[in-house]
Amino acid sequence: MEEVNAEIENITYLGYQEVIGDKKTSYAQVRLLATIKRLGPERPDLDNGKIYERVFLPLDKVNDYLHWEEVGFQMINRVQEIIKNGV
């Protein structure tokens, strides 16, 4: 995963959100759930050279950090369902 420099496995599609009226006319933000297999050192983003901070949070604190509001709560609920039921 490029600048994140991580290997992931057990990837599950959660859904997508269409973004309208941003820098581009319209695009999709895809959301996935995955298990981190390996973390390497952070790398600069190839587009802008920035190194982004890694943040590890308990699931119930993710929306407090990201401020995704209702969409965030829906994703968290879906993740909890997948973890509980193996869906």
Residues 5-54: tens digit of each pLDDT: 999 999 999 988 888 876 778 889 899 999 999 999 999 998 899 998 89
Neighbours of 75 (CB within 10 A): 19
Distance of CA 17 to the CA centre of its chain: 12
**Domain carrying residue 28:** 2-85
Count of domains for the chain: 1
| Single pTM value for the model | 0.75
> Is the per-residue pLDDT at 3 higher than 70?
yes
Cβ neighbour number for residue 63 with a 10 Å cutoff: 18
